[in-house]
Structure 1
């Protein structure tokens, strides 16, 4: 009987954007990194430069591609693009502050906050996804990348929602359960993939983001 070959995934959330800082929902809208996000991406790339990484891939949205570029440059690798790694599409919620969503779409906002995973979002520039649909897309993309690169170490740069889906899948959490775990910009989150699916090795590594401050004090 042959041994199971694990694939390692470094699942990374993109660096900060101006909309992150002001709590404006991005979804599929293409928002670039702000100066803080660019700083985070540079620190992330430096921190991972000494690690084995065989493949770098990212969502096709600018904030993820920019973050992935910093990792790829340090390893001399291209960034492969996969739209399936995008954030959840929030339909008419996109581009609005949380307070604005609550005012304009009170019923849909209440269902979202109550974690109704099959709630339909209001239409907007983009067509929204239910959380269940999004979870299937996001986890399916991660498993597809792992299957295509058995035994390799992948750096996949995505979005907070994708990280949430991976965390829930790895720990077997119900989609309806509250999100009581932090998802931080430019964080490194380590998963393994074997025949049993996703497993969580480490969550929320952000020590590399403090290096810039420490360097300034030295």
Structure 2
């Protein structure tokens, strides 16, 4: 990929928003899906890629249908797996364990969950299959991992970027290597 635009959109708000929903698969709210479609109306797209989780797939299918192009599902774009914490509210978890996780999700992953580096490795594989003018419908974690890979951010830097439901991130990718992209726009 050289000198191309790459778009990421976080799926819209879901049932159970606020919980650690990782690989759990709650349904997206219609209002959140419609908001995502509206944000993508003016984009020129060759391809729409999506996490294989329902909340991303439904959004991707609606966006792709509007553009008249196919959608491809890829499990490498899934959110971080939260293991025993899946579906739990952060307020209901052990505060010390949760703090260790947020401080260093590679050294202290959720019990039975995925390490940050494993998510980054999955996303790096997925990025290797991305062509120009592609929209990727994904999750906050997988989008952060892509920003780490493409923009050269470390974990803490990726968390300095707010990625609310339905945010559209536009990257200009000059070189497909860490630091080879720059953020063109964030549209909450």
Q: Does the alignment reach a TM-score above 0.5?
A: yes
Q: TM-score, normalised by structure 1?
A: 0.76
Q: Of residues 62, 68, 71 in structure 2, which corresponds to 1:76? A: 68
Other-structure match for 2:89: 97
Is 2:52 the partner of 1:60?
yes
The 5 A counterparts of 1:38-187 are 38-102=30-94, 106-123=95-112, 128-142=113-127, 144-146=128-130, 149=131, 152-176=132-156, 179-187=159-167
Q: TM-score, normalised by structure 2?
A: 0.87
Other-structure match for 2:26: 31
Contact kept, 8 Å, 2:83 with 2:110, in 1: the verdict is yes
Rounded to whole Å, the distance in 1 between the matches of 2:144 and 2:124 is 10
Is 2:28 the partner of 1:11?
no
Deviates more, 1:40-49 or 1:8-17: 40-49
- CA shift for structure 1 position 196: 4.1
- CA shift for structure 1 position 134: 1.1
Q: Residue 17 and residue 201 in structure 1: after superposition, are their counterparts in 2 closer, same or farther (change >3 A)?
A: same
Other-structure match for 1:200: 182
Pairwise CA RMSD of aligned residues? 2.1
Task: Give 5+ residue unaligned stretches, structure 1.
Answer: 207-218
- The 3-state SS of whatever aligns with 1:52 is coil
1:22-67 CA-partner distances (Å, limit 9, x unpaired): x211000111112xxx223223323423321000110010100111
Rounded to whole Å, the distance in 1 between the matches of 2:7 and 2:151 is 17
Task: Give 5+ residue unaligned stretches, structure 2.
Answer: none
Paired positions, count:
186
Contact kept, 8 Å, 2:12 with 2:36, in 1: the verdict is no
Is 2:168 the partner of 1:188?
yes
Contact kept, 8 Å, 2:9 with 2:138, in 1: the verdict is yes
Rounded to whole Å, the distance in 2 between the matches of 1:183 and 1:69 is 21
